[in-house]
């Protein structure tokens, strides 16, 4: 029996297409975060990057995102498991840490809608950063489904 690529290859050995297909389309990584300067605690908001498309849960300009949003973090095989602020449900984080994908991940379920149907995405539940003044960000702190401590195991 052939194992799926995410179980049989290292992240560094994945093709570009395989790497990109790991994204489950939850949109949680596109939500703005705030860090408590005293404790280092990170708080997630329901405010997304200006490029985020809340209907599709995808970047509106993925190819140029790093140019248009300089603090957009590009995931790599080297940093995928080390970024503490990444969602607990993120496929990149799960695979990098030796865990399996959730049943609602499209590579398992066969449908890109399954993550939305399972209520594990931020689809149509966010605000664009352009519309929310920075002083109000603290009023938008949320805990998304599946956060902060979940595992498919």
Alpha helices in 2-138 (DSSP H): 5-8, 16-21, 65-68, 91-96, 106-109, 114-117
Return the pLDDT at 151: 44
Asked if residue 50 belongs to a domain, the reply is yes
Asked if residue 149 belongs to a domain, the reply is no
Shortest CA distance to 54 belongs to which of 81, 83, 25, 78? 25
Range of the domain at 18: 8-140
Return the pLDDT at 150: 45
Return the pLDDT at 40: 87
Alpha helices in 5-129 (DSSP H): 5-8, 16-21, 65-68, 91-96, 106-109, 114-117
pLDDT profile of the chain (153 residues), mean per 10: 92 96 96 92 94 96 95 93 91 95 97 96 97 96 80 47
Asked if residue 73 belongs to a domain, the reply is yes
Shortest CA distance to 87 belongs to which of 38, 14, 19, 22? 22
- The residues near 20 (Cβ < 8 Å, ≥ 6 apart) are none
Shortest CA distance to 32 belongs to which of 17, 52, 18, 14? 52
Asked if residue 117 belongs to a domain, the reply is yes
- The residues near 84 (Cβ < 8 Å, ≥ 6 apart) are 42
The β-bridge relationship of strands 42-48 and 31-35 is antiparallel
Asked if residue 14 belongs to a domain, the reply is yes
Asked if residue 79 belongs to a domain, the reply is yes
Asked if residue 153 belongs to a domain, the reply is no
Number of folded domains in the chain? 1
Token match 């379920």: residue?
A: 109
Cis peptide before 48 (omega within 30 of 0): no
Asked if residue 146 belongs to a domain, the reply is no
Expressed in percent and rounded to 5, the helix, strand and coil fractions of the chain are 30, 10, 55
Token match 């594990």: residue?
A: 120
């Amino acid at each position: 029996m052939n194992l799926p690529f995410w179980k049989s290859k290292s992240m560094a050995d994945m093709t570009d297409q395989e790497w990109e297909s790991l994204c489950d389309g939850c949109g949680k990584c596109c939500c703005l975060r705030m860090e408590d300067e005293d404790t280092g605690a990170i708080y997630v908001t329901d405010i997304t990057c200006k490029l985020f498309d809340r209907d599709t849960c995808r970047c509106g300009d993925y190819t140029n995102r790093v140019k248009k949003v300089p603090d957009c973090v590009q995931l790599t095989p080297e940093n995928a498991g080390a970024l503490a602020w990444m969602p607990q449900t993120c496929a990149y984080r799960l695979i990098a840490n030796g865990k399996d994908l959730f049943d609602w991940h499209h590579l398992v379920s066969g449908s890109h809608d399954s993550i939305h149907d399972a209520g594990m995405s931020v689809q149509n539940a966010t605000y664009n950063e352009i519309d929310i003044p920075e002083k109000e960000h603290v009023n938008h702190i949320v805990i998304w489904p599946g956060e902060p401590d979940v595992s498919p195991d």
